[in-house]
Amino acid sequence: MLRILIYPINIFIDFFEGVAEYVLLMTKMFRSVKSWNLYLGFTADQMVNIGAQSIPIVMLTSLFSGMVTSVQAAYQFESGFVPTWFVGSIVGESVLLELAPMITGLVMTGKIGATITAEIGTMRVTEQIDALESLSFDPVSFLIMPRVLAAAIMFPMLVIVADFCGILGGLFAAQSAMDVSAQEFIRGFRTWFRPWDAWFGLIKGVFFGIAITSIASYKGFTTEGGAEGVGKSTTSTVVISCMVIVLLDYILAEIFL
């Protein structure tokens, strides 16, 4: 009986301990920014890993999400009260404001977040982080800072790729599902297009990139207990990052829109 009562209290305490540890680690990371030039090469490597190597999966997922939006819009327009060229505006606004940054964030959580946690977690349990420290390196600036910096730069780029592919996917689907011509689609898109919407998507990308890589790095850094520990940390990274992305999405919308 006592254990049942203590269990939620322990979860509560663990949560706040985790948040405090995360904040502490991020403080260390931001302090280490002054030595960024020392790790420029690693940051460039991470930009390739996080950015360039993720382009195909981002293209594919955003293409289909744009297509689905278009098809669903066509389904809604079956009544005939709404002109079909409106689909361009619906796809455009949905992709720029929400789908491109959100889908990119969620896909990257699985691809990059999990990878970072597994890499750093394995380094932790095989004493590679201790070895770094013993060689006088600051593991936070060596391992975490280049990844977070690379994500902050590359995520907006990926969002631009997702914007382009999402809208292109929407255009293809509109042509096939509703017989909307490319000119009509673009007309709809341009009618309600506001440049700020595109900027807002990029801002989200920066926040999502920092959130995913910092959470993944933190979970990897605090991994304990061998291969099982690495597995648990990786799962936990994906779950927490997904929740944080959704939460950030709402907070950023409240602030910027």
Partner 1 sequence: MIEVKNLYKSFGIKDVLKGISFKINHGESVAIIGKSGIGKSVLLKHLIGLIQPDSGEVWVEEKLVNSLLFSQLQSVRAQCGMVFQFGALFDSMTVEENIGLALSKLSDMNEFEVARQISKSLAEVDMENSEKLMPSSLSGGMKKRVGIARAIAIKPKYLLYDEPTTGLDPVMTDSINRLISKIHRQENVTSIMVTHELRTVFEVAERVIMIHNGKIKFDGTPAQIKQSEDKVVQQFISGNSTLLEAEA
Q: Is 128 in the site for partner 1 (CB under 8 A)?
A: yes
Are 88 and 185 in contact by the 8 Å Cβ rule? The answer is yes
Query: Exposed/middle/buried for 181, CB within 10 Å: 0-12, 13-18, 19+?
Result: middle
Q: Give the nearer residue to partner 1 in terms of CB position, either 137 or 164.
A: 137
Q: Tell the smallest beta-carbon distance from residue 2 to partner 1 (Å).
A: 18
Number of residues that bind partner 1 (CB under 8 A): 15
Burial 195-223 (b: 16+ CB within 10 A, else e): eebbebbbbbbbbbbbbbbbbbbbbbbbb
Q: Which stretch binds partner 1 (CB under 8 A): 108-116, 122-130, 226-234, 245-253?
A: 122-130
Judged by CB under 8 A, the residue of 126, 176, 183, 235 near partner 1 is 126
Q: Is 176 in the site for partner 1 (CB under 8 A)?
A: no
Binding mask 188-207 for partner 1 (x = CB under 8 A): --------------------
User: Any long-range contacts for 68-73 (C-beta under 8 Å, 24+ apart)?
Assistant: 68/173, 69/94, 69/95, 69/99, 69/166, 69/170, 69/173, 70/169, 70/170, 70/171, 70/172, 70/173, 70/174, 70/177, 70/178, 71/173, 71/177, 73/174
Judged by CB under 8 A, the residue of 85, 92, 105, 138 near partner 1 is 138
Judged by CB under 8 A, the residue of 38, 71, 168, 210 near partner 1 is 38
Judged by CB under 8 A, the residue of 17, 133, 179, 228 near partner 1 is 133
Q: Tell the smallest beta-carbon distance from residue 129 to partner 1 (Å).
A: 9
Q: Is 10 in the site for partner 1 (CB under 8 A)?
A: no
Sign of CA dihedral 126, 132, 138, 139: negative
Q: Which stretch binds partner 1 (CB under 8 A): 80-88, 121-129, 156-164, 191-199?
A: 121-129
CA distances to 19, 226, 241, 242 from 247, rounded to whole Å, are: 15, 31, 10, 9
Q: Is 43 in the site for partner 1 (CB under 8 A)?
A: no
Are 62 and 166 in contact by the 8 Å Cβ rule? The answer is yes
Q: Which stretch binds partner 1 (CB under 8 A): 83-91, 132-140, 188-196, 240-248?
A: 132-140
Q: Is 135 in the site for partner 1 (CB under 8 A)?
A: yes
Judged by CB under 8 A, the residue of 130, 182, 192, 246 near partner 1 is 130
Are 34 and 141 in contact by the 8 Å Cβ rule? The answer is no
Give the residues lining the site for partner 1 (CB under 8 A): 38, 122-123, 126-128, 130-138
